[in-house]
Amino acid sequence: MLEGKAFMIDIFNANQYGYNVKGAPDASVLDGQFHVVLVESYPRWRAPRLLYQLLTEQAAKSPYIRTFKARKIHVQATDRAYLQVDGEAKGKARDFNIELEPGALKMLVNPSAHL
């Protein structure tokens, strides 16, 4: 269990946000785990460097970014926080429960393509 203030928590099943920006370069839809990127509260003057590290796959170099893996995640906020799922706003809440359900999504893929 982790406790503390966070600026942002990103939970990945795949390795990118979109537009080929890899927020969790080691994440894979095949590994059965979420890859969590937690951005802790940081001094505002650090924002450009932090953004650069996130966008260039150098998150591990920042003292303000922590990463870990999990199958179930419970986020509890002191105030209502925004939730987005795949870029779409889903409202605000104080508690979020996120659980990976292996095999829940059926997909048709090109067998010659590499995942």
> What pLDDT does 114 receive?
64
DSSP assignment, residue 31?
Answer: S
Q: Per-residue pLDDT for 71 more than 90?
A: yes
Q: Is the dihedral of CA 27, 29, 32, 35 positive or negative?
A: positive
Supply φ then ψ for residue 60, to 5 degrees.
-65, -20
- State the amino acid at position 57 in one-letter form: E
pLDDT tens per residue across span 6-60 = 899 999 988 888 777 788 888 988 888 999 999 999 999 999 998 888 888 888 8
